[in-house]
Chains A and B, each alone.
Chain A
Amino acid sequence: MKAQKNIEASRAEVLEILKNPKNTHEQTMMALATLAENLLPYPDGTPEDFYSLYDKGIICDLDEGHAPYTARYILPDYDKLMKNGCKFLKLDLPKDLFEALNTLLIFYRHVPSITHFPVYMGNIDYLLEPFIQDTEEAKKMIRGFLIHCDRTFGSSFCHMNLGPKASRAGWIVLELESELKNSVPNMTLIYDPKITPDDFAELAIETALASANPAFAYKPAYDVDFKGRPFGIASCYNGLPIGGGAFTLSRLRLNKLANNSTSVSDFFDDTLPHAVRTLCQFMEEKTRFIVEETPFFSTHFLVNEGFIRQDNFVGLFGMAGLCECVNQLMKLQGKTERYGKDEEANQLGVKVMDALKEHVESFESKYSPDWDHHFMLHAQVGAAGDEGTSPGARIAIGEELPLYDHLRQAGLYHKYFPTGVGDIFPFDTTYSKNPAAILDVFKGAFKVGIRYISTYSSDSELVRVTGYLVKKSDIQAYAEGKQVINETVRGSYNAKEYDGTLRRKVRSI
C-alpha cells in the first residue's frame, strides 16, 4: 500500500487506460487524472496505523485519491448566481427562462467535485419558478435542459432538489421526468408535510414509480441537524450545507472491525475507538492538504465570489456494514439473534452507533468552524470490495422484514446520519394506481424516524442502486463491452452493487 510504484508499472497502467475500448474519451481523461494523482503518496502526517487498518479492509478511502485537489462535494449558492450573476464566467443576471437555463448550464460545467461533475445542481424548481410564463414554452425549454444534463454530465451523482413548496416549475420538472426517464440527474423532493401539498407529493411518487426519481428527504429532520440553515441533497443522498459542502469522505467497515475484535468489550473499548481516531486523523490530513497545499480554497472563483465558504465545509465520516458487525458481535457472545429481525440485535446496533457517534464527535478538527469543528456521520453505500458488507445501517438484502417492521427498524438509525442515509423500497406495479397509498407509507416512515426514502417500480427501466440511478439497458450495454456516457454504470457493474439491487424485496400486496 505504501510502496511507490515504479515508473514501468505506471506506464503500463497508462497504456491499459488508453487502450480500454469501453471508455469514452472523457472517461479515459478522468482515469488518467486519477492515475496521476495516485502516483503521489497519501498526505504527510497520515498515521502509521492507517495502513494496517486499510490492508485489513477496516478503513476504506473509497479510492478518493491520494492527493485531492478540490473539495469532494460542493454545494454552490445558486440563489446568489441568479441574483448577482458571475464575474469570472462573465454571466449577467438572467432575465428570462432561456437565460436562466443557459446560465445554469454554463455554471454547472465549472463546479468541480470528486466526480468532476456538479454533484449539487440546486433547488431547480425554486431557481426557475420566477421565469415561468407560458407553461408550454417553459416545458419545451426545461425538457431540453434536462436532456442536456443527462447527455453531458455523465455521472449519476449529479443531484437536483425540488420543493418543499409546490410550484409550476416543480410540476413541469416532475412531468418531464416521468416522460424522459433519464438516469441523470438524481433528484430529491425536500418534503415537509406542513408545506408540501399532498397532490404535489403524490405526483412525485407517481414520477418515482415511472422514473425512479425523485427520492424524499424529510425536511424537519435535516433542519434540526443543520440548525435551520440552508441545506441541500447532493451526490447519492448526502445532506450538506448550501454554500459549503464536504472536504473528504472515508469510511469504516464496521463488520471488518468486529471480525478483528476478540470480544464485545474489545470492540467497544479498544478496536472501535482506535479505528475512529486513526480515520479521523487521516481525514484531517487530507483536509489539510486540500485547504493548505492546493490552491483550491484560495483561488477558485466559487470561493472568491462567495458561492461557497471554506468555513462551511465538513468532513464526512462514513460507515458501512452495521448489519454484519452486529451479527458478529452477537456471535462473539455465543448468541444467534440477527440484525433486523431480533430486538436484542437491533438494540446492540443502537449501542454501536451511540459509541461511534461519541468517538467521532470527540475528535476536534482544525477546520469546519461553522459546524463546531466536527466531522459528520454518513451511512455509506457500496464500493468495490464490499462483498459481505451491507450498505450503511441497512439490513442485508435477502433478510428484509415485512414493510412496516422494516421501516421501524431502519428508523432507529437514520438520526445518526445528518449527511446521508437512505432506504429504498421497490413497489410492484399495483401501487402505481394508488400513489396516495405510498405517500401514506412515507408519512408513517417519517414518524418512525426515517429521514430519507425512495422507491421505484419493480418493472422500471431505471433502478436506484445504492442511492443513485442507473438504466438497466446501460448496464446491459456495458456488460456487452460497449461504451456508455454515464460513468457510474462502470462502478455499479464492477462493484456488483447492481446485482444486489435486483434481489431486493419488491413490496407487493
Chain B
Amino acid sequence: MLAPVNKIIDTSVVDGPGNRTAVFFQGCNFNCKYCHNPETLHMCTACGKCVEKCPVGALSLTQGKVVWNPAICKNCDTCIKVCSHQASPKISWMTVEALADRVIRNIPFIRGVTCSGGECTLQSEFIVHFFRRMKENDLNCLLDSNGSVISFEEEQSLMDVTDGVMLDIKAFDPEKHLALTGQKNELVLRNALYLASIGKLTEIRTVIAQNEIDNAKTVYEITKLLSPYLATTDIHYRIIAFRPFGVRKQFLELGTPSQKEMHSMEAIARSNGFDHITLT
C-alpha cells in the first residue's frame, strides 16, 4: 500500500500537544480560498510544465510520471509556483513500513505523530496500518482533518488506533461553508458531535477572515453545539487569524482581522463554556 506524502516535519510544536512528528499527505477534497499550502490540494497530472522550469534539473518525466530527485533539489519552490494544478512534483509515494521507520527514528524525542494534509482521511486505510505501527511504539496518534471525507463513527478500525482528531470548523452556515470550501458541512458537524461524545475531539479550529464569513455566528454556533460535552472532555479551540502568506493571488482580497475582532471571538467561545482557547 502506498500513500502520497508531501512533507514530513520531524519536530512539530504546532500540530497537537507536545513535540510530534507531522506527516502531510498530498490531496484534498476541499478547495478553501485561504489555503496556505495550495500545492497540497491535487495530485500531479504529469503535465510536465515544472520539469522544464526546475533550475537544477531535479525533475524529470519518466514513463508518464514526474520523478523528483531530492538529493539535488534546492527547495526553491519554482515548480510549485509554475504548477497550475495546485499540485507538487516533490512528493514521495511511501509504504507504511517506510513511513513508520522514518517516524520511529524520532523516538525518544517525540510523544506522538499527527497526520495532516491536504486531507489525510483520503488515505484512511493507509493510516489505519500506519497508526497500528505507531501504537506498537507507544506513540500518541492524532488526525488533523476537515471532517468531510469519512464518517468517523463508521470507521471503527481507524478510531481504534486514533487518540484524537483536530477538526476544522470552517463555517457553520451550510451555504457559507459551500462558498468557502466548495463542500457542504453536514458531515463535518456530525463528526464533531460524534468525536466529542467519545472524548476524541482534541481540538477544533476556525480561521477568521475579515469580511468573508459570518465569523461570530460560526464561533457561537459551534461552541454552543459542543458545550454539553465540555463537562467530560477538554476541547481545545484554536482561533486562527487569516494571514495572506502562501495564499493564492486571486484570494488575497481576504483581510486579516483586528486584534479586537479576535478577542471578541474568544469572548463568544468563553460564553459557551470553552476555556482552553488559543488565538494565533
Q: Does B197 contact A (CB under 8 A)?
A: no
B109 touches A441 (CB 8 A): yes
A439 to B17 Cα, complex, angstroms: 11
Measured CB to CB, the closest approach of chain A to B69, in angstroms, equals 21
Residues of chain A lying within 8 A (CB to CB) of residue B105: 404
Stretch at the interface among B4-12, B169-177, B200-208: B4-12
A66 to B250, CA, bound (A): 74
Q: Are A509 and B11 in contact (CB under 8 A)?
A: yes
Q: Are B109 and A445 in contact (CB under 8 A)?
A: yes
For the A-B complex, the count of residue pairs with Cβ-Cβ distances under 8 Å equals 54
Contacting pair B19 A404 (CB below 8 A): no
Q: Report the separation of the CA atoms of residues A430 and B17 in the bound assembly, to the nearest whole angstrom.
A: 14
How many chain A residues touch B (Cβ–Cβ < 8 Å)?
A: 21
Given contacts A402-B10, A431-B13, A433-B278, contact A440 B106 (CB under 8 A): no
Residues 412-447 of chain A, each 1 if its beta carbon lies under 8 Å from chain B, else 0: 000000000000000000110110111111011101
A36, CB-defined interface residue at 8 Å: no
Contact of A404 among B9, B13, B109, B278 (CB under 8 A): B109
A507 at the interface (CB under 8 A from B): yes
The docked-state distance in angstroms from the alpha carbon of A486 to that of B90 is 52
A443 to B9, CA, bound (A): 19
Q: Which residues of A contact B107 (CB under 8 A)?
A: 444
* B64 at the A interface (CB under 8 A): no
- Docked-complex contact A437 and B13, CB < 8 angstroms: yes
Q: Is the CB of A440 within 8 A of B10?
A: no
Question: Mask for B1-33, Cβ within 8 A of A = 1, else 0?
Answer: 000000001111110011110000000000000
Q: Mark A435-475, 1 if CB is under 8 A from B, else 0.
A: 01111110111011000000000000000000000000000
Inter-chain contact B19/A441, CB cutoff 8 Å? yes
Q: Is the CB of A444 within 8 A of B12?
A: no
Cβ of A407 within 8 Å of any chain B Cβ, yes or no, is yes
Q: How far is the CB of B103 from chain A (nearest CB, A)?
A: 12
Does B14 lie within 8 Å of A440, measured CB to CB?
no
Contact B108 A443 (CB under 8 A): yes
Q: Which A residues are in CB contact (< 8 Å) with B189?
A: none
Central interface residue in A430, A433, A444, by most chain B CB within 10 Å: A444
> In the assembled complex, how far is the CB of residue B106 from the closest CB belonging to chain A, in whole angstroms?
6
Q: Which residues of A contact B110 (CB under 8 A)?
A: 440, 444
- Closest A residue to B109 by CB, please name it: A444
Report which of B18, B108, B280 forms a contact with A437, defined as CB distance below 8 A: B18
Residue A89 interfacial (CB < 8 Å): no
* Given A404-B106, A433-B278, A447-B108, CB of A441 within 8 Å of CB of B17: no
Would you call B248 an interface residue if the criterion is a C-beta within 8 Å of the partner chain's C-beta atoms? no
Q: How far is the CA of A441 from the CA of B19 in the complex (A)?
A: 7
* B11: chain A residues within 8 A (beta carbon): 403-404, 437, 441, 507, 509
Shortest C-beta distance, A446 to chain B (Å), equals: 9
Q: How distant is the Cα of A448 from the Cα of B108 in the complex, in angstroms?
A: 8
Contact A407 B109 (CB under 8 A): yes
Name A438's closest neighbour in chain B (CB-CB). Answer: B19
Looking across the interface, which residue of chain B has its beta carbon closest to that of A448?
Answer: B108
Residues from chain B with Cβ under 8 Å of A436 in the complex: 17-19
Is the CB of B133 closer than 8 A to any CB of chain A?
no
B111 at the interface (CB under 8 A from A): yes
Taking a contact as CB atoms closer than 8 A, the residue among B9, B19, B278, B280 that contacts A440 in the complex is B19
Write out the residue numbers on chain B whose beta carbons fall within 8 Å of the beta carbon of A443.
108
Bound state CA distance, A439 and B108, in angstroms? 12
CB closest residue in chain B, given A432? B13
Query: Which single residue of chain A is at the shortest CB-CB distance from B280?
Result: A433
Closest Cβ of chain A to B238, distance in Å, is: 11
Chain B residues whose CB sits within 8 angstroms of the CB of A439 once the complex forms: 18
- A9 and B260 CA atoms in complex are apart in Å by 69
Question: Judging by beta carbons under 8 Å apart, are A440 and B111 in contact?
Answer: yes
Residues from chain B with Cβ under 8 Å of A403 in the complex: 10-11, 109
Besides A441-B11, A441-B19, A509-B11, 20 other A-B contacts (C-beta < 8 A)? A402-B10, A403-B10, A403-B109, A404-B109, A407-B109, A431-B13, A433-B280, A434-B13, A436-B17, A436-B19, A437-B11, A437-B18, A437-B20, A439-B18, A440-B18, A444-B108, A444-B110, A445-B109, A447-B108, A448-B108
Interface, chain A (partner B; CB < 8 A) = 402-404, 407, 430-431, 433-434, 436-441, 443-445, 447-448, 507, 509
Interface residues of B (CB under 8 A from A): 9-14, 17-20, 105-111, 278, 280
**Sample of 30 A–B contacts (CB below 8 Å):** A403-B109, A404-B11, A404-B109, A407-B109, A430-B13, A431-B13, A433-B14, A433-B278, A434-B13, A436-B19, A437-B13, A437-B18, A438-B19, A439-B18, A440-B18, A440-B19, A440-B109, A440-B110, A440-B111, A441-B11, A444-B107, A444-B108, A444-B109, A444-B110, A448-B108, A507-B11, A509-B11, A509-B12, A509-B13, A509-B14
